Structure 1
């Protein structure tokens, strides 16, 4: 074990984004089936607002501290 070198961790960002979409899809379908279209649209709007807010915060942090992630 002493000679075993640690490698880099795999990048699971793409898989995380895909699974977020899959989970959001079944949650919206379940919400639509149980409570109707209005509830599903409302949840979709809330999630859209939340993602936009996160993007705005990331842009502010990139401007303030510079882009250190290297994902330009």
Structure 2
């Protein structure tokens, strides 16, 4: 019987970031066309705040693991 080891998976991080950017852009354009620039700015600030909070939570979690 032969051992078939799985091949390493390619890194799709760059492709995923581009896809997220493209999707976010068309959502912003649609929102801008319906409700104006204000709602897009509010959503952008909210997403920025959410990303910052996730980053802080991950840093806190990593700091706890490093101290153990």
TM-score (norm 2): 0.83
Deviation at 1:64, TM superposition (A): 0.8
Q: Calculate the aligned-residue CA RMSD, in Å.
A: 1.6
Q: Which runs of 5+ in 1 are unaligned?
A: 67-72
Q: Which runs of 5+ in 2 are unaligned?
A: none
Which has the larger Rg?
A: 2
TM-score (norm 1): 0.79
Residue aligning to 2:53: 53
Query: 4+ residue stretches of structure 1 with deviation over 3 A?
Result: none
